[in-house]
Structure 1
Amino acid sequence: MRIAVIGLGLIGGSLLRALGAAGHDVVGFDADPATRELARAAGFEVGGSVRETVAGSVVAALAVPLPILPEVVADLDGYDGLVTDVTSVKGPVRDLLAGRRFVGGHPMAGKETSGFAAAEAGLFGGCAWVLCLEPDGTDLDDWLLLAGLFTRMGARVVPVTAAEHDTAVAQISHVPHLFAAVLAEQLLSNPLAGTLAAGSFRDGTRVAATRPELTAAMCGGNGRAVQRELHRLIGELRQLEAVLEGPEPIGAMTGYLRRPSEARRAWPATPGRPETIPADIPDLLHLGRSGGWVTEVKTGRVVVKRPETDRFLP
């Protein structure tokens, strides 16, 4: 299968390498001439433009930052292949590509280094790879084609809607980045705090060291969900404040903290046994909403796993 990858940074470059290693006919493009030369030196075919690169491909994977995406999409005029992406926010991309053959994607993979030089074919092994499945807007055959590609790389494909994805990543990534930034800023006004800080501060502020441009683009691109989840967590913190003002703060606080303590100690959940379910949209969405994922695509069916905790869901 001929597959085009637009954007050859860590994720796009790793995707190019992984697809090439799987035997696909791959071609890449990056706006940076030095990156294009690195990809050519690694033995890959590299196009001279977006239009040239996607011509004749069955799938075009867009691996560029969200602010750049409109420019790339404009160069897809006349392209009738299947388009996917790897952007960390899904709602705006879904809206941008409305009317095209499109399945939004987001591989939850990465490492400390970036760029094509850091790319590796095995980056996606074991990672959760969201593939958006809209009940009224996604072609199931297109979704299954991509799910087959990515599961064969070793990824765990998670089927959810764009809105569900954006809420989840606001909760587990975007808002934590903002909380980490607020905590880390305390170092500027209190040198003593920096001297005393140890493991809990280190773990709670690690992502504050992320490049500000990346965090701003990530949170700003998912603004509605981030704002909603930020308000929810601020409300939870105000409840804790009220507990501290009560007559027995230690006992009340212990009761409040028990559930989150148990939840964190039980994470990540143990995967259950593989099972086979119909490859239809309602069953796939139920799977994703219950925390499950696809491990293999078969004709008309998919092999899946669910977290052990799924047995307790209503």
Structure 2
Amino acid sequence: MKKLSQISYLWLFFSMLSSCQTKDEKNPIDNKQVETDNNSYIGKWLPIDKNNEKYYYCTDSNKFIEVGKNTIYDHTPMENSNFSINHVRNEGNETYLYLDKQESSYYILNWIDREQGIISCKLNDYDTNLFIIEKKLNTIENKSCQQKSKSCNISDVFNKYKFILEAGEYRNDKEQKYPVSAWITVTNLKNKKSQEIYFEPNSWSVYSDLPCNDLIIKDFNFDGLEDFAFVWDNGGSSGKLYEYYFQDKNGNFSPADSFPLQHGILAEDISKANKTITVQSIVGCCHINLNQYKLNSNGRWETSSEQHELNKK
């Protein structure tokens, strides 16, 4: 009987030890919970807005994110990004999807309404946006949204066409400041046909607003058709740089890399008789460079340059 009692005590001791080990080994369960929470975000998410406590989806939006088990695909009008998820961590109600081991880049996801399939999503320190999972899209209002945008109607500088420069997005949308995307719409005043040109300067960071006063109309390639140049870069001390668009016989405009001043300074001194464009630039304190571009009969541009000393007073 005494021996049986000792066995009972030993069984009780090992049972308690096993119970303690089970309590200490909850990390795998936590990891499984993290994986479960990550799986709940898998799917295609569409951006939505909220107005007067009501959610709605803009059908003319061109953005979405798609979350997979180990990847995130982020589509915007500017670019597409495909990221691998390195690891996942839950902090309170927020789920962090880290894109690197160092945790320097991440998405923060948070459920707003699980029943409606609505979450908030934030990339690093950028603004937080609302998204709805695609399969729940029919639970909220879908409508075409009029974009908040500033438009420049440029119709008095061209006889045959009307130009509209319009921003599609702003970093500060409320004040319509700091554009991140824009379009130039060219409309033929006679047949009303329009061409939409996506405008992307060298960098938007220098523009707090649309550069509406920097569209120049001229025949830059001597074919009798008016072309246009639009500012491409502020250029700093060297002056503004321009992107040139050339009109074809069908009335469409497109850039040409073969034009010698593409993404360069403005062609102001134009000689139609000689088919030459002359530009000048200051060199140092005392000299001026004169560069001349002549269009030959074979359609190629010939370049010549000379340097002169500035007249000193």
TM-score if structure 1 supplies the norm length? 0.21
Structure with larger RCO (C-alpha < 8 A, sep 6+) = 1
TM-score if structure 2 supplies the norm length? 0.21
Pick the structure with greater CA Rg. Answer: 2
Structure richer in helix, relative to its length: 1
Structure richer in strand, relative to its length: 2
